[in-house]
Structure 1
């Protein structure tokens, strides 16, 4: 009898966990994969390949969650790029507010490893908040902002990220930087440097061409770029309400 009761309790517990994970997203949020599974995902804060060097609070899955209007606009961008054998790759989408607080706490903890310094080679991480690279209130938490890059579908797959390797900083030549398995935009994602400004002149013609392709496709479908980050775009008209629900695996 005790075994049967224990088994029943375990089954009920597993069902409760499954139900919690499968809860619908709030207020017109949607998993981007549900709209277009061809758009690639590399949600960097869900792993260790980012400027913090670990998973951020609230990032429990490699999933892009956005407001529906944002997702529909991204689908249009993807369709336009497909004709050029190019795909979008999502690097960050909706960001739980707790993750922004995690970033701020990290920037102020007084510790900085060489791996973390790769992303801000010109100054200390404690300056990131003052200089506006990190904010307590992020537009990502509204579901209106995305970070993304491009993948050349004709190119061979790049090497995997090795967390034990001492890569060069985010402004170094592509072969020396941490691999991102995407086109060479002139800097790594999340690079806090003037070379990461969308219109930077200190990059090669080929790198500028890729930036123009991304910028052109995104702006044609309503997105606005943040001029200091070639990867960051937002869609106007989304209410400025921040959310803090965790990013969980998309229900199958």
Structure 2
């Protein structure tokens, strides 16, 4: 049967709109993939890999994608634009966290085992104490889509160093050249370092490290993000959260 060309075009457009809507609805509650807001922001979602304090991907992290509430993503885009003018970039380490991942963390902290690799992240605090001291929570702000873990990358620096599985790295409080490579500026500790040195205002870090932390906090604060004092890498956007979610992070299409 012959179809008018205009009718064919309309059918194709309608199909494309239907597919687009299906993709847009794949994330609930106003969530978006950060790459759809700003693909220039570097992502290294640690809990989708074995490069984290648990040593394996966490439950619900089926893809290394930063998922956030739309308002959060739009504000991060503004931060990134400001940093880009200084040859810097944000680097996302964790964004939305499925509630099941928080439960996974709590179970890990209570499993009765503690390996040398795990101690790199917790050099002075037993893992059984992490929940009581507020480093691990059964309900995380991350599950609302309004909390983030991130750092800064100097775009002029060489960040190509990869993790050597055969190397015995020092703990997260050691000098940058001795601990696990972060691919970012030297903030004084590695990411997820449960130690007083990881506190944002820790007095034990050097002036350059302190300057980087202040620079990150200031850049985020200009867009309304608040830092958590025990973790220089953790920020949240007041009022943008709400209910906690438990949908898994899937690959972006």
When the two structures are aligned, how many residues end up with a matched partner? 232
In structure 1, list runs of 5 or more residues that go unmatched.
1-19
Aligned to 2:153: 151
Instruction: After TM superposition, give the deviation of residue 150 of structure 1 in Å.
Output: 0.3
Instruction: After TM superposition, give the deviation of residue 158 of structure 1 in Å.
Output: 3.1
Structure of larger gyration radius: 2
Structure-2-length-normalised TM-score: 0.89
Match of 1:199 among 198, 201, 210: 201
Classify the secondary structure of the residue corresponding to 2:35. helix
Residue deviations 1:159-203, cap 9 Å, x none? 112344321000000000000110000000000011111111111
Match of 1:174 among 176, 179, 183: 176
Aligned to 1:219: 221
Question: Once structures 1 and 2 are overlaid, which stretch shifts more, 216-225 or 157-166?
Answer: 157-166
CA RMSD of aligned residues (A): 1.4
- Rate the CA distance shift 1:28–1:22 in 2: closer, same or farther, 3 A: closer
Classify the secondary structure of the residue corresponding to 2:150. strand
Structure-1-length-normalised TM-score: 0.90
Instruction: After TM superposition, give the deviation of residue 240 of structure 1 in Å.
Output: 2.5
| CA distance in structure 2 between the partners assigned to 1:110 and 1:164 by the alignment | 26
8 Å contact 1:146–1:233 — kept in the other structure? yes
Aligned to 2:70: 68
Match of 2:34 among 16, 32, 35: 32
| CA distance in structure 2 between the partners assigned to 1:60 and 1:162 by the alignment | 24
Classify the secondary structure of the residue corresponding to 2:89. strand
8 Å contact 2:121–2:193 — kept in the other structure? yes
Aligned to 1:184: 186
